[in-house]
Amino acid sequence: GDQVEQSPSALSLHEGTGSALRCNFTTTMRAVQWFQQNSRGSLINLFYLASGTKENGRLKSTFNSKESYSTLHIRDAQLEDSGTYFCAAEGSNYQLIWGSGTKLIIKP
Amino acid sequence: GALVYQYPRRTICKSGTSMRMECQAVGFQATSVAWYRQSPQKTFELIALSTVNSAIKYEQNFTQEKFPISHPNLSFSSMTVLNAYLEDRGLYLCGAGQSQNTLYFGAGTRLSVL
């Protein structure tokens, strides 16, 4: 069935640096969402993309449906960015297909 | 691999009635199960976190009287929305894992209320 491969599974960054997370899809997806799971367990919606690129503060996300991937870039990482990040792709039947998550640790 | 199935995928209930949704974990032990509801802002709010053999912890604004949860074993959990009204509409998500920090998510149950 449809699958989402998310990488890396874990990432450690020093404050002020940046990196990128990636989700690859095995089939064409309608849209992708990126979430941050915070320390309280809530899933905070960061981006919803049907195509192209969106930017919000220090975060930028791209969704390339043709090449079946999406990325989430974090720059100038801050301590409060720590948490687990998930991508969730919207399949052809509008169901959410989740990536396995990236545990992000920001070090002072 | 680890899979989480939620059913039904979509359901409609009449205002004032109740609706039960289920979450099945396959390929791993679901020691922890978290139930979420998607807000109008698209964020998923945590309703409650259940750990097998421990009390279920409800978040503020959610109660056992309204959202009773059952987590009888390491592969299954259910949640009921009692006396559903319009404000209970939305997508309900189950996340299951061996700990609350490692959750696998289902595709969600979409609830419509007439």
Residues of chain A positioned with their CB less than 8 A from the CB of B103? 37, 101
What was the pLDDT predicted at B67? 98
pLDDT at B69 over 80: yes
Mean pLDDT of chain A: 91
pLDDT digits (tens, 9 = 90+) for B22-36: 999 999 999 999 999
Residue range(s) defining the domain that contains residue A68: 4-101
Q: Which residue segments constitute the domains of chain B, with CATH numbers given?
A: 1-10+32-98 (2.60.40.10)
Our count of domains for chain A comes to 1
Q: Read off the CATH number of the domain in which A78 is found.
A: 2.60.40.10
Length of chain A: 108
Q: Do B46 and A42 touch (CB under 8 A)?
A: yes
Residue B56 CA: distances (Å) to CA of A30, A83, B72, B80: 36, 23, 12, 14
The string of DSSP codes covering A89-104 is EE-TTS-EEE---EEE
Quote the radius of gyration of chain A (alpha carbons, Å): 13
Does the pLDDT at position B102 exceed 80?
no
Instruction: Confirm whether A108 is domain-assigned.
Output: no
Using the predicted structure, report yes or no on whether residue A1 has a pLDDT greater than 90. no
pLDDT at B107: 85
Between chains, do A45 and B42 touch, taking CB under 8 Å as contact?
Answer: yes
Query: Is residue A107 included in any domain, yes or no?
Result: no
* A44 band by pLDDT with thresholds 50, 70 and 90: confident
CB atoms within 10 A of CB A106: 19
Does residue B101 or residue B50 have the better pLDDT? B50
Using the CB atoms, write b or e for B80-111: b if 16+ within 10 Å: ebbebeeebbbbbbbbbbbebebbbbbbbbbb
Asked if residue A106 is part of any domain, the answer here is no
